[in-house]
Structure 1
Amino acid sequence: MAPRGLKALVGEKILNEVIRSVKKEGEWKVLVLDQPSTRIVSACCKMSDILAEGVTRCPEELFEELGRSRAARAIRTLKEIDVAFVPYESQVFTLDAPRSFHGCYSPFGAGERVTVLGTLATRLATLCATLGVYPAVRYRRGPEDNAVLAQALLARLDALRADTPAMAEGRTQLLIVDRSFDLVTPLLHELTLQAMAHDLLDIRHDTYRYETSGLGEVREKAALLDEDDELWVQLRHMHIADVSRKVTELLKTFCESKRLNTEKANIKELSYILKKMPQYQKELSRYATHLSLADACMRRFQGTVERLCAVEQDLAMGTDAEGEKVKDPMKVMVPVLLDPAVDPYDKLRVILLYVLLKNGVTEENLAKLVQHANVPAAQQRVLPNLRLLGAPLTPASGRLRPEVRQRPQATYQLSRWSPAIKDVLEDALEDRLDPEQWPFVCPPATPPSTQAAVSARFGQWHRGRGGAAAGAAVAGAPRVLLFLLGGAALAETRCAYEVAPGAPVLLGSSHILTPRSFLEAVEGLDQPLPPEA
């Protein structure tokens, strides 16, 4: 089964509060959606679910015509629900606001920064209202925007709670951290399937397009990579080295259960089986999709990506695969920078990882690296623009690389780095976050003196927030909500599932990042934001 979680919760809210509340026997309704609403509904409701409720969708062209006409006066029912976020996955959400990155970090957006942060706060507050929680809001000390967003969020939560008494004060924490907290993770080539596919392949709107061939035919197919695909849920966080083997095993098990004869588990043979056994088209098509996806990722990996991964992991960790300190980083990175087959953005990723490892380099040395790499002038703007995220690349500018917890030796040498956000989530679940580094916007109530002694440094803040009654009121609510200001990498969203399978943790951001989209966004920070398409 596809995992229950945030998507299911919002889907039920839409069906119950918007559609079923106005449903009458024997009547069909027209559902009128603007673009933001369409993204929210599409993320958590199947079209078949909506049609089953006696509803037909109003196309955008008709919606615009209705808005211009007198018919708008005749629309009988307007149902408003506080959902201004997109449930991307069962434990992941976005605020559907990629342009907020420019508003938060570009000097051209300085005049709108408070407004942008206020909009994000409003959308975050609707997430809390949907979950029925009034969380303790904390933020990472340092960047001013973290504190501003946290204060704005608290104000909106207070306003919502006045109208929504069901928002219970319990053990939930909402943590706010900015993108500069970890600049390493969005630069790395990640080798788990979901992140790797979005990094290396042309996947748009989570849709993978590929060609199949069989019996002389070549057909283009499109597959949506979402949680309605149970096979995708099993595979998305697996290392690419394990994916093909796992798909093959699952396919053979399926074929044996249906008494299908297949000696080779490959896309071509699946095409033949589909011709003969059309009743199994849905299941076999999914296996074909994921075999194709894994194969496409491996083909890219076996080009320049494998060499890049080795260099990137050494620079990110500061140690090589044997655990020895990298004494001469230039020695491992120069061959990549000089290779004309390596994409300029990939060379930038290597240069930035080197600068983060060294905690800054001189402008002269940086210019030499760029010259060796032959990076085009437009893309060179990424380097100075990174200072706008609070990370100047010159020496003595502070620690640029995040401290991450030492973990047991990774199974794969090219996947040794662990996102810094994973440490934060683990500490939050164990009440180990330092209150000096992660202050509360509003200090929690002091635990009663009758309670057992607690840690003098970290405390157990949640014990003074309504006691057992409050805990019962939010049974099933997530323990930790983490919001990453400035975009979240798919390697980071994976951490929500790794530290807490089953949704005690939700992780979200303004939008989902790929390494390319992150670098392009940084590149554009010294320019005005183009009009929205």
Structure 2
Amino acid sequence: MLQDISGMKVIVLDSHTVSIVSVVYSQSELLQKEVFLVELVDSITMSKEPMSHLKAVYFLRPTSENIQHMRRQLATPRFGEYHLFFSNMLKDTQLHNLADSDEHEVVQQVQEFYSDFVAVDAYHFTFNMISNHMYMLPAVVDPSSLQQFCDRAVDGIAAIFLALKRRPIIRYSRTSDVSKRIAQEALKLMYQKESGLFDFRRAEVSPLLLIVDRRDDPVTPLLNQWTYQAMVHELIGIQDNKVDVGYIGKFPKDQQEVVLSSEQDAFFKANMYDNFGDIGMNIKKMVDDFQQVSKSNQSIQTIEDMARFVDNYPEYRKMHGNVSKHVTLVTEMSRIVEERKLMLVSQTEQELACNGGQGAAFEAVTNLLNNDSVSDIDRLRLVMLYALRYEKDSPVQLMQLFNKLASRSPKYKPGLVQFLLKQAGVDKRTGDLYGNRDLLNYALNMARGLKGVENVYTQHQPLLFQTMESIVKGRLRDVDYPYVGNHFQQARPQEVVIFIVGGTTYEEARSIALMNSTNPGIRFILGGTAVLNSKRFLKDLEEAQRIARSSTGLV
């Protein structure tokens, strides 16, 4: 968009496209393309002075609100030229409305650029959906909000495949009504309504779109994380590859937000999937390297030395910024780990997620509930993990833990653990979350246990990992993941998009990257309605519980 339009530009975005752009473009890159102003479409007021020397590049989602904003702004144009780009398919009526409003004939072009998703990483995208709790509610509770939720998911999925220039075969998680609905609507869009748009040159084997439900694996978003990217999101929070560090109080005003992007930070790219112990060692090495560079800069003896330093100064400043960023993040995470006794908590979490032994688990969870150093959120997560694992085995002990949690952490809404079991208990899930059903899995888990665990804190593997292994081996069960329409896959797909309704985690993104690096013949892409950490998952759960209660009059 920007390189084809020469001259001084203003770029106008909406609340969605600002995220889409921010993860792939830095401000300095925008400046290089002669973008001197970035505005939000709903905050451009008509009273501002005209800027006819600027060309306006609009990049918006094709929503009815945005079309209304555009119509008003075209009626009294402030800029010399208008170049309109939409992140997804425009309706004919929207196009006619825009044409009617362009009385001053300032619009130079209108184009669809299929990018209606936030590209978090090379294999990971999100839609940043605010109403992410909707997938947990039955359709009868709020049909119109659920329809909006599904429409947004279908729009985003369509944009992904238009960007990839592919039309997929679609499968979904059998036990999830919302996955089935999104799968059916995506099929209708790609094979009927807009089949011409998706009529790309056929690949020998069609790619696979697999739509699954977060509730099939509620364990992954409840666990503490110990690999770098996932840990930063769990303990501090990442939004559109940016981390808010203002509260730490060590950064100047203009650096309250730091960028954590594998595209823009070589150290992060090399270490984002490493565990916390290794990160500490690698940061120490980075600090040592930086000190060497600093020392050599101190010995400026001649004009040539000075010239060399000035040439290298931007690189030196960048290195300095990077070192201080990673040192601050790791120092802050170490403080939180110590304060919340997370090494103690996490050991029990991993045992609950990966190993049997109900008696020992009950004792460990009880001890942690009684420990004053353990925070309320960690107590809640421990009881949830125990409940998901042993819901059928020990109702009496489960009740004891519910009562203990209520007395120790009264701020959590009563019944939240029971609501989780209702949503994502064993009877509701597709797939084999704990590897109990499949004897081969059981044997593999035994072998892993006997070999000695490489790191007790990163034993857990998300259900997604098993799902990918099944796809690679051509063993994804039709009964668990049915096809929609009369489109079936004859051979193993070479491209697979796995979309998680309810949100992805960075632990799953790591599994995708590892699977792609070890299976060169097949490429996996992961996407979801949001990117979760335990806080966000619990917030969605609480919101769904609140709406479910008010709709049944139980408040």
Give the TM-score of the pair, scaled to structure 1: 0.77
Instruction: Look up the match of 2:502.
Output: 486
State the number of aligned residues: 461
Please tell me the residue identity of whatever aligns with 2:434: E
Cα drift, residue 375 of structure 1? 2.4
Q: Following superposition of structure 1 onto structure 2, how do residues 74-89 of structure 1 map, counting pairs within 5 Å? A: 74=104, 75-76=106-107, 77-89=109-121
Shift of 1:312: 0.8
Q: 1:518: which partner in 2? A: 537
Question: C-alpha displacement at 1:35, in angstroms?
Answer: 1.6
Residue 176 of structure 1 aligns to which amino acid in structure 2? I
The CA deviation string for residues 401-446 of structure 1, in whole angstroms up to 9 with x for no partner, is 7134436443111221111101112222332212222222234468
5+ long unaligned stretches in structure 2:
47-68, 78-101, 299-308, 436-440, 549-555
**TM-aligned CA deviation for residue 168 of structure 1:** 3.8
Which residue in 1 is equivalent to 2:279? 243
Could you list the per-position Cα deviations for residues 470-502 of structure 1 after superposition, in whole angstroms to 9, with x for gaps in the alignment? xxxxxxxx6111001111121111111011138
Q: Distance in 2 between matches of 1:349 and 1:525?
A: 17
* 1:310 paired residue number: 347
The whole-number CA distance in structure 2 between the counterparts of 1:162 and 1:61 is 31
CA distance in 2, matches of 1:213, 1:113: 43
Q: Distance in 1 between matches of 2:381 and 2:288?
A: 40
Q: In structure 1, what residue type is equivalent to 2:469?
A: E
Corresponding residue number in structure 2 for 1:120: 153
1:51 to partner: Cα distance = 3.1
Aligned match of 1:471: none
Q: 2-side partners of 1:339 and 1:329: how far apart?
A: 15
The answer to whether structure 1 residue 355 and structure 2 residue 360 are counterparts is no
- C-alpha contact 2:348 2:364 (8 A) present in aligned 1: yes
Aligned equivalents of 1:412 and 1:362: distance in 2? 29
User: Aligned equivalents of 2:434 and 2:402: distance in 1?
Assistant: 27
Distance 1:180 1:398, change over 3 A: closer
Shift of 1:390: 4.1
Deviation of 1:289 after TM superposition, in Å, equals 1.4
Question: Partners in 1 of 2:489 and 2:245 — Cα distance?
Answer: 55
Partners of 1:141 and 1:437 within 8 A in 2: yes
* 2:183 alignment partner, one of 150, 154, 161: 150
Match of 1:496 among 501, 512, 537: 512
Residue identity over aligned pairs, in percent, reads 20
* Residue 222 (structure 1) aligned to one of 257, 261, 271: 257
**Residues 335-360 of structure 1: CA deviation (Å, up to 9, x unaligned):** 11112332222111111111112134
RMSD: 3.4
Distance, in Å, in 2 between the alignment partners of 1:398 and 1:444 is 25
Separation of aligned partners in 1, 2:500 and 2:31 = 36
Distance 2:250 2:409 in 1: 39
> Does structure 2 conserve the Cα–Cα contact (< 8 Å) formed by 1:355 and 1:361?
no
Q: Does the 8 Å CA contact 2:471/2:492 hold for their aligned counterparts?
A: no
Q: Which residue of the partner structure matches residue 465 of structure 2?
A: 422
Structure 1: segments with no counterpart, 5+ residues? 1-17, 263-272, 320-324, 448-459, 463-477
For residues 189-245 of structure 1, the C-alpha deviation after alignment (integer angstroms, 9 at most, x for no partner) is: 11111111221225555314166879xx99975321112111111121110011010
> Paired residue for 2:24?
44
CA distance in 1, matches of 2:430, 2:214: 15
Go from structure 1 to structure 2 and tell me whether the alpha carbon gap of 1:201 and 1:350 turns closer, same or farther (over 3 Å shift). same
- Is the CA contact 1:314–1:326 (under 8 Å) kept in the aligned structure 2? no
Question: Distance between the aligned counterparts of 2:416 and 2:118, measured in 1?
Answer: 29
**Which residue of structure 2 lines up, in the alignment, with residue 11 of structure 1?**
none
Change (3 A) 1:88 1:112: same
* Stretch moving more, 78-87 or 399-408: 399-408
SS at structure 1 position matched to 2:325: helix
What is the CA distance between 1:381 and its match in structure 2? 3.9
CA apart distance, 1:178: 0.4
Is 1:59 aligned to residue 39 of structure 2?
A: yes
C-alpha displacement of 1:278: 7.7
SS at match of 1:523: helix
SS at match of 1:79: strand
Alpha-carbon distance in 2 for matches of 1:328, 1:401: 23
Task: Describe the SS at the equivalent of 1:379.
Answer: coil
Matched, 1:138 2:154: no
Aligned positions of 1:170-319 closer than 5 A: 170-201=205-236, 203=238, 205=240, 206-209=242-245, 221-227=256-262, 228-253=264-289, 256=292, 260=296, 280-303=316-339, 304-319=341-356
Higher relative contact order (CA 8 A, sep 6+): 1
Distance 1:515 1:310 in 2: 17
Equivalent residue runs for 1:326-365 within 5 Å: 327-360=359-392, 365=397
Instruction: Work out whether residues 489 and 513 of structure 1, in 8 Å CA contact, stay in contact via their aligned partners in 2.
Output: yes
Amino acid corresponding to residue 120 of structure 1 in structure 2: A
Contact 2:167-2:198 within 8 A present in 1 as well = no
